[in-house]
């Protein structure tokens, strides 16, 4: 019913641009790829800390319940 206004678009080009911009972007991309690979390797652990804590709490509760039957 009502037309929404579109965002303004500016064609801004900096007057003094760094010629090494492509080098900076490629360096950023390489760092990003390395970080992703490291996080994937770290995520492949068998048991993480939260899982260990939950298992410990479950064992303590089970021991408490079983002690009540003796």
pTM of the predicted model, to two decimals?
0.36
* Of the listed ranges 12-16, 36-40, 43-47, the one predicted with least confidence: 43-47
Categorize the per-residue pLDDT at 58 as very low, low, confident or very high, splitting at 50, 70 and 90. very high
SS (H, E, C) the chain: CCCCCCCCCCCCCCCCCCCCHHHHHHHHHHHHHHHHHHHHHHCCCCCCHHHHHHHHHHHHHHHHHHHHCC
């Amino acid at each position: 019913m009502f037309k929404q206004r579109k965002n303004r678009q500016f064609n801004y080009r900096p007057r003094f641009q760094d010629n090494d911009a492509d080098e900076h972007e490629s360096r950023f991309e390489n760092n990003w790829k390395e970080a992703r690979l490291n996080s994937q390797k770290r995520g492949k652990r068998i048991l993480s800390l939260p899982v260990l804590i939950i298992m410990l709490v479950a064992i303590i509760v089970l021991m408490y319940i079983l002690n009540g039957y003796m």
